[in-house]
């Protein structure tokens, strides 16, 4: 049995993916097998939750548009804000990055649970910090996906977590263990990572949300020692549930929300990677990047200033063995 994959070209510690070749399933790496099992569990749980809905109930969704309001009749626990956008117009469907349901930020692909008022927010929506935070958070999610896929198969990549979005910091962040203690990425390696990030944003991959029980989350992330330690604490504070996000085959833990798909990210750069040495869990690397929403134009000089700022160490709060993403009451000091 054959599977379509990509030719791998090495660049230092990184691997670049170039189309296209075929190889036997028997040669799949442990990384690919782990990803496959995680996605299988995600799909099975998604199907189980859909089947548990039972008889379909109709709800009224009042779309509060810029020029007029529209009342839609949708399916409870099944229809999403994205489905609503499909009924409104192609332009709204393509540009809506985040929803607001009864005033609460809501993922575009997360089912509606009751009759509600619905607003659809674009990345250009003024005075909506929720969109900016969702955009920044999605960039961190994508950064983790890039890191998981960029390194050679013999390098153990374990994602730790990413801090809450902080636009004033000048960069989005993901803390990652790479299994070695002394890596100084070259300019070429940073450029390779940036290229992979750009490729990901151009694919318009939907970002799914799924809430699962603690035991299933532990099974999905049993290969990651950091997630295995973090999940019980997360579940304890969320009625034994853990919120997952999936982008393509990449699955991560986050409170969310995220933007609807990767195409909302425009120009982007992986600007720097800083070493974090800790007594508790050893060495991590803080990946930092900067990005603009799709459609937002900025001249080369101005964007260069953003890139230089993003190279500086982002001192966002970090807590060993805990997910700090979206925690507003941090108590630990930043790692220096």
How far, in Å, CA of 25 to CA of 230, rounded? 32
Q: What is the pLDDT of residue 286?
A: 96
Q: Which of 246, 245, 242, 251 is nearest to 217 (CA)?
A: 242
Residue 285 φ then ψ, to 5°: -125, 130
8 Å CB contact between 81 and 121:
no
Q: Which CATH class is domain 129-311?
A: alpha beta
How many residues in the chain? 336
Domain borders along the chain are 58-121, 129-311
What is the signed CA dihedral for 118, 133, 39, 249, rounded to 10 degrees?
110
Per-residue model confidence (pLDDT) at position 18: 36
Beta strands in 98-206 (DSSP E): 98-101, 104-106, 116-121, 158-161, 172-177
Six token digits for residue 320? 């060993």
Give the C-alpha separation, 216 to 138, whole Å: 23
What are the helix and strand counts (H, E) for the chain? 8, 14
| Residue 304 vs residues 4, 232, 299, 310: alpha-carbon distances, Å | 38, 42, 9, 10
- pLDDT tens digits for the chain (336 residues)? 333 334 344 556 665 443 333 333 345 578 889 999 999 999 999 999 999 999 999 999 999 988 889 999 999 999 999 999 999 999 999 999 999 999 999 999 999 999 999 999 999 876 678 999 999 999 999 999 999 999 988 888 999 999 888 888 999 999 999 988 889 999 999 999 999 999 999 999 999 999 999 999 999 999 999 999 999 999 999 999 999 999 999 999 999 999 999 999 999 999 999 999 887 788 999 999 999 999 998 999 999 999 999 999 998 765 455 554 543 332 222 332
Which pLDDT score, from 0 to 100, does residue 15 have?
59
DSSP at 102? T
Q: How many CB atoms lie within 10 A of CB 236?
A: 10
| CA 280 vs CA 93, 263, 284: distances in Å | 46, 38, 11
| Domain topology for 58-121 | Ubiquitin-like (UB roll) (3.10.20)
Q: What does the angle CA 16 – CA 22 – CA 26 come to, to the nearest 5 degrees?
A: 100
Strands 98-101 and 58-64: unpaired
**CA nearest 194: which of 152, 142, 238, 236?**
142
Report the pLDDT value the prediction gives residue 26, as an integer from 0 to 100: 41
- Quote the pLDDT of residue 43: 98
Return the closest-CA partner of residue 276 out of 132, 177, 130, 135: 177
Degrees to nearest 5, angle at CA 83 with 78 and 86: 165
């Amino acid at each position: 049995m054959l599977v379509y994959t990509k030719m791998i070209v090495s660049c230092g510690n990184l691997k670049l993916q170039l189309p296209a070749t075929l190889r036997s399933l028997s040669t799949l790496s442990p990384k690919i097998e782990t990803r496959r099992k995680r996605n299988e569990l995600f799909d099975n749980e998604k199907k189980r939750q859909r089947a548990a809905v039972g008889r379909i109930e109709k709800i009224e969704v009042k779309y509060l548009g810029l020029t007029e309001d529209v009342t839609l009749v949708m399916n409870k626990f099944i229809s999403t804000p994205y489905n609503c956008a499909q009924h409104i117009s192609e332009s709204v469907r393509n540009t809506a990055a985040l929803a607001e349901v009864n005033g609460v930020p809501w993922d575009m692909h997360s089912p509606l649970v009751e009759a509600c008022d619905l607003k659809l927010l674009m990345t250009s929506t003024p005075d909506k910090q929720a969109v900016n935070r969702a955009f920044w958070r999605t960039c961190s999610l994508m950064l983790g996906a890039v890191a998981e896929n960029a390194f050679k198969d013999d390098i153990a990549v374990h994602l730790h977590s990413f801090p809450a979005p902080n636009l004033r910091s000048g960069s989005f962040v993901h803390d990652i263990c790479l299994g070695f203690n002394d890596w100084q990425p070259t300019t070429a390696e940073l450029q390779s990572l940036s290229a992979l990030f750009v490729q990901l944003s151009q694919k318009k991959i939907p970002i799914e949300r799924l809430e699962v029980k603690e035991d299933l989350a532990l099974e999905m992330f049993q290969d990651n020692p950091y997630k295995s330690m973090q999940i019980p604490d997360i579940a304890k504070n969320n009625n034994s549930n853990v919120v997952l996000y999936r982008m393509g085959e990449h699955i991560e833990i986050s409170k969310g929300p995220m933007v609807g798909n990767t195409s909302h990210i425009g120009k982007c750069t992986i600007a720097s990677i800083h070493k974090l040495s800790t007594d508790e869990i050893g060495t991590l690397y803080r990946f930092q990047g900067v990005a603009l929403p799709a459609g937002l134009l900025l001249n080369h000089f101005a964007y260069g200033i953003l890139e230089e700022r993003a190279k500086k160490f982002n001192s966002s709060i970090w807590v060993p063995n805990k997910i700090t993403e979206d925690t507003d009451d941090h108590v630990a000091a930043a790692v220096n």
